[in-house]
Amino acid sequence: MSIVYLVGAGPGDPGLLTLRAKELIEQADVLIYDYLANKEFLSFASPECEVIYVGKKGGDHTLPQDRINTLLVGKALEEEGRIIVRLKGGDPYVFGRGAEEAEELVEAGVAFEVVPGVTSAVAAPAYAGIPITHRRFTSSVSFITGHEDPTKDATSINWGALAASGSTLVFFMGVKNLPVISAKLIEHGMRPDMPCALVHWGTTCRQRSFVSSLDRVAEEAQALGYKAPSLIIVGEVCSLKERLDWFEMKPLLGLGVVVTRSREQASDLSCRLRELGACCYEFPTIDIAPLDDDAPVREAAKTLSANDWVVFTSVNGVWRFFDVLDDMGLDARAFGAAKVAAIGPATAAALCERGIRADFVPEKYVAEDVVDGLLARGVAGRKVLIPRARMAREVLPEKLVAAGAEVTVLPVYETRLADADPGEILAALDKGGIQFVTFTSSSTVENFFARISPEAFAPYKDQVKLACIGPVTAKTLERFGFAPDVMAGEYTIPGLIDAIMASIT
């Protein structure tokens, strides 16, 4: 029998997705997700997974609830032995209509399980510096819907009890009804100056929040343009926001940054930027692909120890070369007495993971400095192997040959233009949602402009800063008619991030 998992996706921060939720997304044959479930989680699904978006955005539903129920049952019954994941923002049973979906599954005889998620009622206030309980203020909390079932004859909210409870009140889906909510609470005896907060898109890079008083909050929310999804918190605990705020202090909060690295490497830069609050748009412009014929790599591996130096110019080169070694049953011992050079610390770290400590890493992480360092170490007359991309700058082998070295360039992978859809990037540019585009190599520049022409990008140049990892990448950018606004002092990912940080202060 197929089984349906009603899975809580949490409030939006990818770090708040549970391990069980991630495991099920990875195993899913069908993934049905709604508006509040972070789209990043779709990357955990297998390429064979059928992914279905069902909307549910503030009354604008791609599919109404009854059709979602029918879809869940239908997908479970159309084929045996499948895993259907219904991914819902927050927690399925906290104002998520998960219970209604579960009832439909029971009625149809479909097996199901519930995977709780972190509810925004707890997470969004915490990210806004508001503890929903505090011994000095309150020891209870109430979760209330601000949008009741419109088919009900009368409200089920006891406004008098809420106003008199002394609890922190957390309203879901209530921003449209905020004037009514505040008026009802005041009407039933709550102080007009009771602190009240709104948190918009809590726990995400789009988060913003403010604290007002109950009698003024609706007017201020309208003036500030607050819309769904926004959480309303009412209670004395809101007075702690100014003191305990932490998330909105992040230096890159809300800034849109395009990451153009390959899919394999994008997560490293994206994770670092997200930690600083940035909204990352992953737009992989290059694909790293193994060679169709790796016979030359295998032959080189058999005589690896005959080289005096093996020079790695990228992390990808390390990964792909060792993939072949692994397949041949070889490891770091195959290097024998050969010395190893790495173009930078990231490449050196990749080597360390494979049991090789680089003998030389230049102070500046460009090919020219690798050449100078090797020349200083007496490379003339020595055998040098360079595992690298099929297409790469020739300065390193050419200068080593000129210095008298016996150089073998060994392609171990190739870079290709990634099949990335520029639609999301162009839409975000149109809305002013992107402030930086990052380039970590010349190929990311070339392939970015292969997908978005210089002419199409030019109108946005004044609103977007172009950030390059180093001078070689910057020169490539200049060939397309653009000057870098930001360039790393140290030609590394941390150096690039430091340069972006410095550019906004």
Domain boundaries, the chain: 3-118, 122-249, 256-285+418-503, 293-417
What is the distance between the alpha carbons of residues 497 and 266, in angstroms, rounded to a whole number? 14
Q: 288-308 burial, b for 16+ CB within 10 Å, e for fewer?
A: beeeeebeebeebbeebeebb
**Site of tokens 């045996």:** 80
Beta-carbon neighbour count of residue 455 at 10 Å?
Answer: 9
Nearest to 34 by CA among 81, 82, 71: 71
Residues 440-497 pLDDT 10s:
988 899 989 999 999 999 999 999 999 999 888 999 999 999 999 999 988 888 899 9
Tell me if residue 286 falls in helix, strand or coil.
Answer: strand
Token readout for 225 is: 């343009």
pLDDT at 79: 92
Tell me if residue 25 falls in helix, strand or coil.
Answer: helix
Over the Cα atoms of the chain, what is R_g?
A: 28
Average pLDDT value over all residues in the chain: 91
Q: Given this chain, do its domains 256-285+418-503 and 293-417 carry the same CATH topology?
A: yes
Position 259 pLDDT exceeds 80: yes
Give the list of residues 6+ apart from residue 398 with CB closer than 8 angstroms, or none: none
* In contact, 87 and 34? CB cutoff 8 Å: yes
* In contact, 436 and 254? CB cutoff 8 Å: no
> What does the CA dihedral 403, 405, 409, 415 come to, rounded to 10 degrees?
-40
**Site of tokens 């392939």:** 447
pLDDT at 244: 97
* In contact, 198 and 119? CB cutoff 8 Å: no
pLDDT at 56: 60
The pLDDT-based confidence of 148 (bands split at 50, 70, 90) is low
* In contact, 487 and 470? CB cutoff 8 Å: yes
Segment 293-310 mean pLDDT: 93
Look up the CATH architecture of domain 256-285+418-503: 3-Layer(aba) Sandwich (3.40)
The pLDDT-based confidence of 61 (bands split at 50, 70, 90) is low
Q: Is 41 exposed, middle or buried (0-12, 13-18, 19+ CB in 10 A)?
A: buried
pLDDT at 58: 53
Q: What amino acid occupies position 497?
A: I
Position 503 pLDDT exceeds 70: yes
Tell me if residue 340 falls in helix, strand or coil.
Answer: strand
Token readout for 406 is: 């016996």
Q: Which residues are catalytic?
A: 34, 56, 173
Residues 66-80 pLDDT 10s:
999 999 999 999 999
Position 152 pLDDT exceeds 80: no
CA atoms 312, 317, 319, 320: torsion sign: negative
Nearest to 308 by CA among 385, 201, 217: 385
Which is more confident, 262 or 72? Answer: 72
Q: What is the DSSP string of 32-55?
A: EE-TTS-GGGGGGS-TT-EEEE--
Q: Which CATH class is domain 293-417?
A: alpha beta
Q: Does residue 422 have a cis bond before it (omega within 30 degrees)?
A: no
What is the distance between the alpha carbons of residues 135 and 446, in angstroms, rounded to a whole number? 58
Backbone angles phi, psi at 265, to 5 degrees: -110, -10
Residues 20-53 pLDDT 10s:
999 999 999 999 998 878 888 998 999 999 999 9
Least confident of 106-120, 150-164, 422-436: 150-164
CATH number of 3-118: 3.40.1010.10
Superfamily per CATH, domain 122-249 = Tetrapyrrole methylase, C-terminal domain (3.30.950.10)
Least confident of 204-208, 307-311, 317-321, 378-382: 378-382
Nearest to 318 by CA among 277, 275, 381, 361: 361
Q: Does residue 459 have a cis bond before it (omega within 30 degrees)?
A: no
pLDDT at 35: 80
Q: What is the DSSP string of 217-249?
A: HHHHHHHTT--SSEEEEESGGGGGHHHH--GGG
Segment 179-202 mean pLDDT: 97
